[in-house]
Amino acid sequence: MADLSLRGLTKRFGDVVAVHDLTLTLASGELVALLGPSGCGKTTTLRMIAGFDVPTAGRILLGDRDVTEAPPEKRTCGMVFQHYALFPHLTVEQNVAFGLEMQGLGRPAIRRRVAEILDRVGLGGLGRRYPRQLSGGQQQRTALARALVINPGVLLLDEPLANLDAKLREEMRFYIRALQRELHITTLYVTHDQAEALVLADRVAVLMNGVLQQFGAPEEIYHRPQTAAVAAFIGVTNFLPGRVTARSGDRFVLETPAGVIRARGTADLREGMDAMLSVRPEHIELGGPDPGVSPDGINSVRGVVRERTFLGSLIDFRVDVGHGVLLRVQGRAAASQRAGDQVTVSFDSAAAWALPGREG
Amino acid sequence: MPAALRIWGRHLLILPALAVLAVFFVAPYLNLLVISVMTPSPRAAYLRILTLANYTRLVRDPFTWGVVWHTMWLGIATTALSLLLAYPLAYHLARATRRLRAGLMVLVISPLLVGVLIRTYGWMILLQDTGLINQVLRALGFRAVPLMYNNLGVLIGLTHVFIPFMVLAIAGTIQNIDPGLELAARSLGAGAWRAFWRVTFPLSLPGVIAGTVLVFVLTVSSYVIPSLLGGFTVLTVPILVVRTITELFNWPGGSAFAIVFFAITLVALWLYLRLIGRAARTA
Amino acid sequence: MVRRSERVWLNIAVVLVYAFLLAPIVIVVLAALNSGAYLRFPPEGLSFRWFAAFAQSRSFTRSLAFSLRLAAIVTVIATVAGTMASLWLVRFGGRLRTTLRLLLIAPLAVPGILTGIALLIFFYALGWGKSGFAGLILGHTLICIPYVFLIVSAVLVRFDLSLEEAARNLGASAFTTFRRVTLPLIKGGVISGAIFAFVTSYDEFNISLLLSGVGTTPLPIQLFDFLRFSFDPTAAVAGTISIAMALVVVLVTQRLVGLESLYTGG
pLDDT tens for C227-240 read 877 777 888 888 89
Query: Please, which pLDDT band fits residue C198 given cuts at 50, 70 and 90?
Result: very high
C78, C202 contact by CB (below 8 A): no
Question: At residue A166, does pLDDT exceed 90?
Answer: no
User: Does the CB of C167 have a partner CB in chain A at under 8 Å?
Assistant: yes
The CATH number of domain A236-356 is 3.30.1600.10: no
Q: Where are the domains of chain A?
A: 2-228, 236-356
Neighboring chain B residues of C258 at a CB cutoff of 8 Å: 102
Lowest mean pLDDT among A244-258, B107-121, C127-141, C149-163: C127-141
Q: In what order do the strands lie in the sheet with A154-158?
A: A77-80, A154-158, A186-191, A31-35, A203-208, A211-216
Buried b (16+ CB within 10 A) or exposed e, C219-254: bbbbbbebbeeebbbbbbbbbbbbbebbeebbeebb
- The subunits that touch chain A, with at least 3 C-beta pairs less than 8 Å apart, are B, C
Query: Please, which pLDDT band fits residue C32 given cuts at 50, 70 and 90?
Result: confident
Tell me the domains of chain C and their CATH numbers. Answer: 1-47 (no CATH), 58-262 (1.10.3720.10)
Residue B205 lies in a domain: yes
Residue A208 contacts by C-beta under 8 Å, 6 or more apart in sequence? A36, A37, A40, A229, A230, A233
Residue B53 lies in a domain: no
- State which residues form the domain around B103: 63-282
Question: At residue C99, does pLDDT exceed 50?
Answer: yes
Choose the mutation target among A67, A98, A188 for the interface with C, i.e. most C CBs under 10 Å.
A98
DSSP run (H or E) holding A303: strand A298-310
Neighboring chain C residues of B124 at a CB cutoff of 8 Å: 227, 231
Neighboring chain B residues of C259 at a CB cutoff of 8 Å: 102, 105-106, 109
The C-alpha of B95 sits at a distance from chain A's nearest C-alpha, in angstroms, of: 30
Question: At residue C265, does pLDDT exceed 50?
Answer: no
Question: At residue A175, does pLDDT exceed 70?
Answer: yes
Closest B-chain CA to C138: B24
User: Does the CB of B130 have a partner CB in chain C at under 8 Å?
Assistant: yes
Angstrom distance (rounded) from CA B124 to CA C236: 11
Q: State the average pLDDT over residues C29-40.
A: 80
Lowest mean pLDDT among A3-7, A346-350, B133-137, C201-205: B133-137
Residue B74 lies in a domain: yes
Question: At residue C8, does pLDDT exceed 90?
Answer: no
Lowest mean pLDDT among A199-213, A290-304, C159-173: A290-304
Query: Please, which pLDDT band fits residue A181 given cuts at 50, 70 and 90?
Result: very high
Question: At residue A1, does pLDDT exceed 60?
Answer: no
Q: CA C146, C150, C155: angle at the middle one, nearest 5?
A: 150
Closest B-chain CA to A71: B3
Question: At residue C253, does pLDDT exceed 50?
Answer: yes
Neighboring chain A residues of C168 at a CB cutoff of 8 Å: 51-52, 71-73
User: Does the CB of B48 have a partner CB in chain A at under 8 Å?
Assistant: no
Residue B163 lies in a domain: yes
Q: CATH code for A2-228?
A: 3.40.50.300
- Predicted local distance difference test score (pLDDT) of residue C264: 44
- Predicted local distance difference test score (pLDDT) of residue C57: 86
Angstrom distance (rounded) from CA A96 to CA A114: 6
Residue C4 contacts by C-beta under 8 Å, 6 or more apart in sequence? none
Q: In what order do the strands lie in the sheet with A285-287?
A: A285-287, A342-348, A298-310, A314-320, A326-332
The C-alpha of B3 sits at a distance from chain A's nearest C-alpha, in angstroms, of: 8
> What is the ipTM, given to two decimal places?
0.84
Residue B150 lies in a domain: yes
Q: For residue range C78-91, list pLDDT tens digits in order.
A: 999 999 999 888 88
B199, B181 contact by CB (below 8 A): yes
Q: Give one DSSP letter per residue of B212-278, joined into a string.
A: HHHHHHHHHT--HHHHHHHTTT---HHHHHHHHHHTS--HHHHHHHHHHHHHHHHHHHHHHHHHHHH
Angstrom distance (rounded) from CA B214 to CA A31: 60
Question: At residue A163, does pLDDT exceed 50?
Answer: yes
Q: For residue range A314-333, list pLDDT tens digits in order.
A: 888 898 887 778 888 887 76
Neighbour tally for A284: CB within 10 Å: 23
Is C162's CB within 8 Å of A81's CB? yes
Is B6's CB within 8 Å of A71's CB? yes
* Distances C50 to A353, C234, C235 between C-alpha atoms, Å: 96, 5, 9
- Predicted local distance difference test score (pLDDT) of residue A157: 95
Task: State in Å, rounded, how far the first CA of chain B is from the last one.
Answer: 46
Query: Please, which pLDDT band fits residue A358 given cuts at 50, 70 and 90?
Result: low
Angstrom distance (rounded) from CA A228 to CA A245: 19
Neighboring chain C residues of B122 at a CB cutoff of 8 Å: 23-28, 239
A92, A127 contact by CB (below 8 A): yes
Angstrom distance (rounded) from CA A291 to CA A275: 26
A345, A300 contact by CB (below 8 A): yes
Neighboring chain B residues of C256 at a CB cutoff of 8 Å: none
- Predicted local distance difference test score (pLDDT) of residue A134: 94
DSSP run (H or E) holding A300: strand A298-310
B53-60 and B251-282 are packed helices; what angle lies between their axes, rounded to 10 degrees? Answer: 70
Residue B16 lies in a domain: no
Is A69's CB within 8 Å of B6's CB? no
Residue B50 lies in a domain: no
User: Model-level pTM?
Assistant: 0.76
Per-residue pLDDT in tens (0 to 9) along chain B, 283 residues: 456 666 677 788 888 999 999 999 999 999 999 988 888 887 777 788 888 888 888 888 899 889 988 998 999 999 999 999 999 999 999 888 888 888 898 899 888 888 888 899 899 888 888 888 888 888 888 887 888 888 999 999 999 999 998 998 898 888 888 887 887 887 777 778 888 888 889 888 888 988 888 899 889 989 989 988 888 788 999 999 998 888 888 888 889 999 988 888 888 878 877 776 776 665 4
Q: Where are the alpha helices (DSSP H) in B146-197?
A: 151-175, 179-187, 192-195
Neighbour tally for B10: CB within 10 Å: 14
Conformational region of residue A41, where left means phi above 0, alpha means psi within -120 to 50, and beta covers everything else:
left
Q: In what order do the strands lie in the sheet with A57-62?
A: A16-27, A2-13, A57-62, A65-66
Closest B-chain CA to C117: B242
Q: State the average pLDDT over residues A23-48.
A: 92
Q: Which amino acid is at B160?
A: H
- Predicted local distance difference test score (pLDDT) of residue A117: 94
Residue B55 lies in a domain: no
Angstrom distance (rounded) from CA A81 to CA A101: 20
**CATH code at position B174:** 1.10.3720.10
